[in-house]
Amino acid sequence: MRRQPLEGPWLDGEAGRLVRPYTVSNGRTKPSAQFDLLTLVMATGDRPHSYLGPDHTHVLKLCGGPVSVAELAAQIAQPAVVTKVLLSDLAACGAIISRAPVPAPRGDDPTDRDLLEAVLDGLRRRL
């Protein structure tokens, strides 16, 4: 996947982000809500009552449809913990909703040998 050129007041095409991650999260390193990297988030359509900042606005725009926390972190070029802090702020004001990942249904034998061999064969063909 090709990245878009960095633009905007806090970005420089050659230097990258001009603002440190801890500044984006106001020095916070622990989100107030529980998010897994596979948690899906989506905008509710409700806007925060007060302006949270440009990074919050950017994240909210990316949440038009269900998107994982990992994908958001990649899109905003921030560490996952910073992304989780931003999402916690948005969840607290009702701007987003989240859903934990749904585990895949398992058959009688979670270590299905046929499935594992098929995956191994596929990997060998690719490598």
Contacting residues for 80 by C-beta, under 8 A, at least 6 apart: 37, 69, 70, 73
Bridge partners, 11 (sequence order): 17
In this prediction, residue 50 has a pLDDT band, given cuts at 50, 70 and 90, of: confident
Q: Which is more confident, 55 or 21?
A: 55
In this prediction, residue 40 has a pLDDT band, given cuts at 50, 70 and 90, of: very high
Average pLDDT over residues 7-18: 52
